[in-house]
Structure 1
Amino acid sequence: MPKFEALNKVKKAGVVAVVRGTSEENSYQTAKACIAGGVTAIELAFTSPNADITIKRLSEEFANNDQVVIGAGTVLDSPTARMAIIAGAKFIVSPSFNSKTAETCNLYAVPYIPGCFSPTEVQQALTYGADVIKIFPGSIAGQSIIPEIHGPFPYASIMPSGGVSLSNMHEWFEKGAYVVGVGGSLVGPAKENKYDQVKSNAQAFHQEFLSIAK
């Protein structure tokens, strides 16, 4: 999948589900519930057991779906990025910026979305070819950080993650978010294997995004 196609799928999804499973099967079922509810961009965190196996399983299952895009999250270094990409991840997300990870993603033409918190970090990430800047944790940074970043970096695509909820998602987009990353408020019920509730949450987030995108 060309890089621009993966980015376009993420952009169209609007909401990236941050999945941190308690087991391989839990991760898989949580991701499936999100997709069934309409949240079609999945960030499978490498804190999840056997994350690469789950990424491969999901990537193969949804290979012919033109909306679903499976990525990897909590990627801290280049070897992990390569492992995720080989497993089928179409985008790589990190909680912080790492130059070697950026180089690996560039080598494989896979979008890199590093976590940043300051103008220095944003500039460094953009210099290394980061396609989207993840503002993390969004709950601490606050929504006003997006227009502030867009002052010196007007073309930066921003993805807040951490602190995004159904009730405040529209505010993040009003401030200029490219997409949003959502964890607990979307997939929280999965900790108790309540996948139907995850699906319901996903439907609510998807509908909210559609109303925002109009």
Structure 2
Amino acid sequence: MKRLKMIEKILDAGVIAVIRSESKEKAIQVVEAVKRGGIRGIELTMTVPGAVDIIKELCEANTDHELIIGAGTVLDTETAAACIRAGADFIVSPSLNPEVLKLCNRYRVAVMPGVVTVRDAVEALEYGVEIIKVFPASLFGPGILSALKGPLPQANFMPTGGVTLDNIKNWVKAGAVAVGIGSELTKGAKTGDYELVEKTAAQFVERFQKAIAEERK
């Protein structure tokens, strides 16, 4: 049940903040900023120094379970297992690795592999993936979701990379059930402007929710 509830929480949150940083301190400050902005989904990538320890720290501090804390850029089973032990609510990979999918299934942890082809999307479905990450979405634009949804209307897709405040509506219209936002969300962190990160987070949440509401009319 935990995995199913986590999928529901991810879908309900809609916007997932993809956090990459050169230090633990900056990563945590970004997490705090996007949380203040209303984003509840956090994907801390393994490119952040000490990422597994940061995930553990964030999970231990998340006593009210307000945040959904996941691990991103997970390339192998060893890393996936370490993140799960640290308390990660979900695992995200940039590509489809069957062994990572099997490990996450074994421990009933939500997993979102990256795909850009129908073949990989079908394989993800066969491994029981509930939300499929489309990455790098910036190379294709919203049209890739329309193309994938053609033969696979039953699949749930989450584009990551290339989603902006200006085009988020188009991604939702094309079929996105959630979106992963990285540099477009956290660019303020480069100059230490965490108020900008917070403001941008609030704008993404507002525009995503508005787009979803319009599609449901």
Whether these two folds match at TM > 0.5 is yes
* Deviation per residue, 1:64-106 (Å, 9 max, x gap): 23x4200010000111011111111111111101011001110
Partner of 1:84: 83
Partner of 2:206: 207
Equivalences for residues 41-52 of structure 1 within 5 A:
41-52=41-52
- The residue type equivalent to 1:43 in the other structure is E
- The residue type equivalent to 2:37 in the other structure is G
* Structure 2, gaps ≥5 residues long: none
Once residues 9 and 63 of structure 1 are traced to their aligned partners in structure 2, the CA distance between those partners, rounded to angstroms, is 16
Once residues 52 and 194 of structure 1 are traced to their aligned partners in structure 2, the CA distance between those partners, rounded to angstroms, is 25
Structure 2 SS opposite 1:81: helix
* Deviation per residue, 1:127-152 (Å, 9 max, x gap): 12222111111111221111221222
Equivalences for residues 60-75 of structure 1 within 5 A:
60-65=60-65, 67-75=66-74
Structure 2 SS opposite 1:202: helix
Aligned residues: 213
Pairwise CA distance, 1:191: 2.4
Structure 1 SS opposite 2:69: strand
Kept in 2, the 8 Å contact 1:117–1:141? The answer is no
Partner of 2:145: 146
Kept in 1, the 8 Å contact 2:172–2:212? The answer is no
Q: Does 1:156 align with 2:152?
A: no
Pairwise CA distance, 1:158: 0.1
Once residues 108 and 62 of structure 1 are traced to their aligned partners in structure 2, the CA distance between those partners, rounded to angstroms, is 21
Once residues 192 and 108 of structure 1 are traced to their aligned partners in structure 2, the CA distance between those partners, rounded to angstroms, is 40
* Deviation per residue, 1:14-54 (Å, 9 max, x gap): 11100001111111111111111001100000000110111
Pairwise CA distance, 1:208: 1.2
Equivalences for residues 101-180 of structure 1 within 5 A:
101-180=100-179
Structure 2 SS opposite 1:131: coil
Pairwise CA distance, 1:63: 2.9
Q: Percent identity?
A: 41
Pairwise CA distance, 1:210: 2.4
* Deviation per residue, 1:140-170 (Å, 9 max, x gap): 1221111221222111110001100011001
Once residues 109 and 141 of structure 1 are traced to their aligned partners in structure 2, the CA distance between those partners, rounded to angstroms, is 32
Structure 2 SS opposite 1:155: coil
Once residues 142 and 205 of structure 1 are traced to their aligned partners in structure 2, the CA distance between those partners, rounded to angstroms, is 18
Partner of 1:23: 23
Once residues 209 and 147 of structure 1 are traced to their aligned partners in structure 2, the CA distance between those partners, rounded to angstroms, is 18
Once residues 212 and 148 of structure 1 are traced to their aligned partners in structure 2, the CA distance between those partners, rounded to angstroms, is 20
Kept in 1, the 8 Å contact 2:134–2:158? The answer is yes
- The residue type equivalent to 2:196 in the other structure is Q
* Structure 1, gaps ≥5 residues long: none
Kept in 1, the 8 Å contact 2:115–2:132? The answer is yes
Kept in 2, the 8 Å contact 1:21–1:191? The answer is no
Structure 1 SS opposite 2:75: coil
- The residue type equivalent to 1:100 in the other structure is E
Pairwise CA distance, 1:206: 1.3
* Deviation per residue, 1:159-184 (Å, 9 max, x gap): 00110001100110011101000101
Partner of 1:39: 39
Question: Relative to structure 2, which stretch is displaced further, 43-52 or 124-133?
Answer: 124-133
Pairwise CA distance, 1:209: 1.9
